[in-house]
């Protein structure tokens, strides 16, 4: 509230503000003069004000910004232009020519870019005849719910969000998806929507990424903003009337740029801060004021009109006695103050760069339990959104007039209303739905959901509705049904999810207390209906779940509404003490092998309800298990350890063993003949051979050139020509550069994946220094007494993989005919190699198709698989995304194909559920057996001890009787004690 005495000062301030606003508008209407760096040195006109603690950090970083074109304001460009005129006064331009030049600079309001020319496309090896549309994206099941502001509304029915290298537009009514690909192919940093919902921005990632502004609903690329940051954009925001756009760059530059976006011109540019900046926003009531916040800071900006032009001046917020905090959510108040959140859940009121007051609840309770991620002003009320899953409504006047009442700087206030969305909800952002007569909002839940919330707080307020549910965080494993179009996924968010990927429908999900780390579909030889999946968890537990259609079950009172599918716990056991990393059924379905980070592989007899057979120890953490195919004579298990060891174990014997056999105290199998290959790096040798071959070819070419030169000179000059040739030879003699040195990494590079190529032969892909090749290896002859730690084995063949030096293959699968090899890359790309049919020796790996699909920064593909009929390909990544591709034209997919969920077995609803293992400290199978044996031994020892104690007690009683008899005898007949008993 302003006092009447402030009217004069307000008028002066408004005059200054209007002059600045007029200058800002003139800078938008007049495009910048193009300046060539060759003609003149650009001035860095950014005049920031820094606190002493930041100034030293920014000095170095600001020097790197001096070369950035556009750091000058529009008025400074006019100054530079006038300087140029004075230098070339002999060639003045007429008014008509100047006007014509000005018109040429303007971009037509009706101009659009061509999306097909702009968008990133798959790479196909030249002259390979591989179709560009080899794979067609048909659906996305994932959602990166931990990405900042990854939920935007274009109208009441259309939501959009980033999924890897795609922007997905989702119709909330029909659930239909539409995709826009990034132009860089390296991913999308942030998205934003124009206030009038007529445009939206896609700010990308990559080297010198673009900001592409699309028109809505035509989805045509309308404007492209360039050179705003080095590698990725972190946030974008339009001003209130949508004429300006502010952008913040991510690491390493954190550049703040103000754009006249319709003319594709930067107006102002500066470094925002030396640490990560989360967001930037315009003050809704004053375009000349902005705020940025991020890691341990908040900063207040003003566009100031000085005698040298328009500048951005930044003032760093000073925390004073308050602890420094990351600031995720904030809002500008109409009078210029700023209200921000904190990591501990209280609200901070900022005025003139200082904390005026800290707001908490009665009893010094935090406003939220945990960080406040968003603060908004809606219909005269302040709304806060917290990581605790709560939305609280506060009185605006109370906050606006708040002031500290004591030295603590705290003021206690209470919310008007509040909504607890649900348990285990972590709200990250919220956006209002424009539905007349309703107060509905869409909320982004960082724990894997999108909610529809009613914030009307009336007697007819609807309960929170979960519209969509997703994985939160990295997806660790993916598997596809061998019988129908069903897919299962699991991740460290503790959920297992089932999808019908043909009809684009999520079917069911179930949550456990520990994260899932491995998956396999139980083969039809074990479960004929294809109804079972097996899941490994991070605490070492294995669960076998049975999938069924619950609609055929008997309906009884209290049953919840039926889903399209449900999961029933069939078996549970704990073979390991650490993350389970691999699960594999033997080709006849008789044996299950499980591998773990605890450096063991456990075998189970499937036919006997997964009775434990035993385990073997491995020289390193297991990362993959592969049973030999039916084409191999021997049934063996390929065990790939991440530290460079590859083992081959024979089929384990399933001899009967009595549970009470006193000679068996452990499940460990010690007499198994295991072959071992210890990978030794040969990359430096390969590079050396490549260099030798290259130099040999260059030498041969030079020899040919010399011979031709000698013949020319001899023909033209005779003997003198020969003499001149030898003189030239002596002058041209150069010392040959030394060949690359042989290098072997001191720490073995991790093996990422592998597969059998034939009996005792296999291929492996490695990361780190050894990336860039596939290595073909063969097991050496089994040596019973050989020390595997001293072994050094080298591959006998290799295949060069183009552009994979820093981007190795993480997972591999094959088509049914083995004529296509599908590779999931570290940077989230899919690569498809076209092979000769059933050629696992990979003789021809020249032709491939490559496409970036998941996020290039953190979207490593963790799972890739084709459907049972090779019609679809599915991928799952560490960026929470799941993509479904068609290997056939989309016309064939319009037939409405759908997965068949197995019918429920008779009596499954009354079948007892095995007792689950919820305690992560529960004994493993081996530890339980050792405990039983230990308890049995201790019991026997205790029985022996008890017998000895009884004997001692009897002897002691007999001795006491003898002593008493001795004392009753006459003294001359008594025995005398010579040793005293203590």
Tell me the three-class secondary structure of 273-320, residue by residue.
CCCCEEEEEEECCEEEEEEEEECCEEEEEEEEEECCEEEEEEEECECC
pLDDT confidence bin for 322, thresholds 50/70/90 = very high
Decide if pLDDT at 45 tops 50: no
Confidence of residue 69 (pLDDT cuts 50, 70, 90): very low
pLDDT at 89: 33
Alpha-carbon distance of 627 to 822, in angstroms, equals 19
Measuring CA to CA, which residue among 207, 216, 159 is closest to residue 186? 207
Determine the average pLDDT of the residues in 932-943. Answer: 83
CA 606 to chain centre: 36
Check whether 191 has a pLDDT greater than 70: yes
Quickly state the pLDDT bin for 68 (edges 50, 70, 90): very low
Q: What is the pLDDT of residue 42?
A: 30
What is the rounded average pLDDT of the residues 17-22?
Answer: 51
Q: Is the Cα torsion angle 315, 321, 322, 323 positive or negative in sign?
A: positive
Strand partners, 489: 478, 497
Please give the biggest Cα pair distance in the chain.
Answer: 152
Residues 614, 619, 620, 622, Cα dihedral to 10°: -40
CA 267/CA 548 separation, integer angstroms: 61
Q: What are phi and psi of 756, to 5 degrees?
A: -70, 140
- Angstrom distance (rounded) from CA 230 to CA 782: 54
Top-confidence residue, 371 or 100: 371
User: Picking from 282-296, 581-595, 710-724, which range would have the lowest pLDDT averaged per residue?
Assistant: 710-724
Distances (CA, A) of 541 to 21, 604, 770, 918, 927: 65, 14, 33, 9, 13
In this predicted structure, the answer to whether residue 889 has a pLDDT above a threshold of 60 is yes
Mean pLDDT across 690-706: 82
User: Is the Cα dihedral 670, 671, 677, 678 positive or negative?
Assistant: positive
The listed range with the strongest mean pLDDT (97-101, 371-375, 842-846) is: 371-375
The predicted pLDDT at position 907 comes to: 66
**The pTM is what?**
0.83
Which run of H or E residues covers position 11?
A: helix 7-29
**Predicted local distance difference test score (pLDDT) of residue 449:** 95
Local structure of residue 901 (DSSP, 8 states): P
Structure confidence at residue 472 (pLDDT): 95
pLDDT-based confidence at residue 84 (cuts at 50, 70, 90): very low
Instruction: Find the mean pLDDT for residues 498-514.
Output: 94
Gap between the Cα atoms of 667 and 611, Å rounded: 11
The share of the chain scoring above pLDDT 70, in percent, equals: 82
Is residue 332 within 8 A of residue 284, CB to CB? The reply is yes
Report the share of the chain in percent with pLDDT over 90: 62
Q: What is the mean pLDDT of the chain?
A: 84
Taking 3-state DSSP, the helix, strand and coil percentages for the chain, each rounded to the nearest 5, stand at 20, 35, 45
State mean pLDDT over 303-313.
86
Which residues, in sequence order, are bridge partners of residue 407?
A: none
- The residue written with tokens 């003069």 in the block is 33
Mean pLDDT confidence for 59-71: 36
E strand intervals along 115-176: 123-124, 136-140, 152-155, 158-163, 166-171
Judged by average pLDDT, the poorest of 262-276, 291-305, 825-839 is: 825-839
Average pLDDT rounded to a whole number, residues 137-148: 94
Residues 6+ apart with CB under 8 A from 671: none
On the question of pLDDT at 712 being above 80, the answer is no
Place 51 in a pLDDT band, splitting at 50, 70 and 90.
Answer: very low
Q: Where residue 733 falls among pLDDT bands split at 50, 70, 90?
A: low
Greatest mean pLDDT among 39-43, 545-549, 971-975:
545-549
Q: What is the pLDDT of residue 535?
A: 97
* Tokens of residue 419, six digits: 């909504």
Coil, strand, or helix at residue 902?
A: coil
Is residue 400 pLDDT above 70, yes or no?
A: yes
Q: 């294809």: which residue's tokens? A: 530
């Amino acid at each position: 509230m302003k006092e009447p005495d402030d009217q004069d000062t307000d008028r002066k301030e408004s005059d200054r503000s209007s002059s600045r606003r007029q200058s800002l508008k003139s800078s938008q209407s007049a495009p910048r003069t193009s300046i060539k760096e060759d003609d003149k040195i650009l001035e860095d006109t950014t005049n920031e004000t820094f606190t002493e603690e930041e100034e030293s950090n920014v000095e170095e970083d600001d020097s790197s910004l001096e070369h950035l074109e556009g750091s000058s304001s529009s008025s400074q460009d006019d100054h530079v232009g006038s300087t140029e005129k004075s230098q070339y006064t002999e060639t003045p331009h007429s008014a008509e020519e100047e006007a014509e030049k000005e018109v040429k600079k303007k971009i037509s309001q009706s101009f659009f870019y061509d999306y097909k020319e702009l968008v990133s496309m798959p790479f196909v090896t030249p002259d390979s005849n591989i179709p560009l549309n080899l794979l067609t994206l048909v659906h996305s099941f994932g959602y990166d719910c931990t990405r900042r502001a990854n939920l935007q509304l274009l109208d009441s029915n259309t939501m959009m969000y980033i999924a890897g290298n795609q922007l997905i537009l989702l119709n909330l009514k029909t659930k239909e998806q539409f995709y826009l690909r990034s132009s860089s192919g390296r991913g999308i940093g942030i998205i934003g929507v124009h206030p009038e919902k007529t445009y939206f921005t896609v700010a990308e990632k990559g080297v010198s990424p673009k900001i592409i502004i699309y028109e809505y609903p035509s989805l045509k690329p309308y404007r492209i903003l360039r050179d705003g940051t080095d590698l990725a954009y972190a946030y974008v925001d339009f001003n209130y009337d949508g004429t300006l756009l502010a952008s913040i760059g991510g690491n390493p530059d954190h550049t703040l740029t103000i754009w006249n976006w319709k003319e594709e011109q930067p107006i102002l540019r500066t470094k925002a801060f030396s640490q990560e900046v989360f967001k930037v926003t315009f003050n809704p009531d004053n375009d000349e004021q902005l705020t940025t916040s991020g890691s341990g800071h908040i900063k207040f900006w003003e566009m100031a009109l000085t005698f040298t032009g328009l500048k951005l001046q930044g003032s760093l917020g000073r925390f004073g006695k308050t602890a420094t905090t990351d600031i995720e959510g904030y809002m500008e108040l109409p009078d210029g103050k700023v209200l921000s959140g904190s990591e501990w859940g209280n609200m901070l009121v900022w005025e003139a760069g200082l904390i005026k007051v800290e707001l908490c609840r009665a009893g010094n309770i935090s406003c939220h339990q945990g960080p406040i991620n968003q603060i908004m002003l809606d219909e005269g009320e302040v709304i806060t959104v917290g990581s605790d899953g709560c939305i609280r409504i506060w009185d605006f006047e109370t906050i606006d007039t708040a002031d500290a009442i004591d030295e603590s700087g705290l003021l206690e206030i209470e919310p008007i209303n509040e909504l607890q969305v649900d348990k285990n909800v972590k709200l990250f952002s919220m956006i209002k739905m424009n539905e007349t007569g309703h107060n509905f909002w869409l909320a982004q839940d960082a724990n894997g959901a999108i909610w529809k919330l009613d914030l009307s707080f009336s007697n007819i307020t609807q309960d929170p509705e979960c519209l969509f549910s997703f994985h939160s965080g990295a997806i660790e494993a993916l598997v596809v049904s061998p019988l129908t179009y069903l897919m299962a996924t699991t991740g460290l968010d503790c959920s297992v999810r089932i999808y019908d990927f043909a009809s684009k429908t999520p079917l069911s999900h179930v949550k456990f207390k520990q994260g899932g780390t491995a998956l396999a579909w139980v083969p039809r030889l074990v479960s004929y209906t294809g109804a079972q999946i097996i899941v490994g968890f991070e605490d070492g537990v294995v669960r076998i779940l049975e999938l069924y259609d619950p609609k055929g079950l008997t309906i009884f009172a209290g049953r919840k509404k039926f889903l399209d599918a449900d999961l029933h716990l069939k078996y549970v056991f704990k073979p390991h003490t650490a993350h389970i990393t691999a699960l594999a059924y033997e080709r006849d379905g008789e044996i299950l092998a499980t591998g773990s980070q605890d450096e063991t592989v456990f075998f189970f007899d499937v036919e006997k309800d997964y009775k434990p057979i035993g385990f073997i120890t491995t020289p390193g953490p297991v990362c993959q298990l592969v049973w030999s195919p039916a084409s191999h004579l021997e049934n063996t298990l390929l065990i790939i350890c991440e530290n460079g060891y590859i083992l081959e174990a024979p089929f384990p014997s399933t001899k009967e063993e009595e549970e009470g056999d006193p000679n068996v105290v452990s499940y460990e199998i010690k007499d198994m003949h295991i072959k071992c290959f210890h990978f030794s790096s040969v990359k430096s040798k390969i590079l050396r051979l490549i260099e030798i071959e290259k130099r040999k070819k260059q030498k041969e070419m030079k020899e040919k050139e010399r011979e031709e030169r000698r013949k020319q000179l001899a023909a033209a000059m005779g003997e003198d020509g020969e003499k001149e040739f030898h003189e030239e030879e002596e002058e041209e003699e150069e010392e040959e550069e030394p060949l690359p040195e042989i290098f072997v990494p001191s720490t073995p590079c991790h093996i990422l994946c592998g597969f059998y190529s034939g009996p005792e032969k296999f291929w492996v892909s490695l990361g780190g220094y050894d990336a860039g090749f596939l290595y073909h290896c063969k097991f050496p002859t089994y040596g019973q007494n050989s020390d595997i730690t001293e072994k050094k084995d080298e591959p006998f063949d290799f295949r060069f993989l183009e552009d994979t030096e820093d981007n190795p293959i993480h997972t591999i699968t094959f088509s049914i005919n083995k004529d296509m090899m599908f590779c999931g890359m570290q940077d989230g790309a899919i690569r498809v190699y076209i092979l000769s049919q059933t050629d696992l020796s990979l003789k021809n790996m020249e032709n491939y198709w490559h496409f970036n699909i998941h996020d290039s920064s953190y979207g490593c593909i963790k799972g890739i698989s084709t459907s049972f009929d090779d019609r679809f390909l599915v991928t799952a990544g560490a960026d929470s995304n799941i993509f479904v591709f068609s290997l056939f034209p989309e016309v064939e997919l319009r037939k409405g194909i759908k997965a068949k969920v197995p019918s429920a077995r008779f009596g499954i609803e009354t079948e007892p559920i095995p007792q689950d293992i919820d305690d992560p400290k529960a004994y493993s199978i081996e530890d339980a057996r050792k405990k039983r044996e230990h308890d049995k031994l201790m019991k026997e020892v205790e029985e022996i001890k008890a017998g000895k104690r009884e004997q001692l007690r009897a002897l002691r009683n007999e001795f006491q009787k003898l002593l008493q008899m001795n004392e009753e005898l006459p003294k001359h007949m008594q025995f005398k004690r010579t040793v005293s008993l203590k």
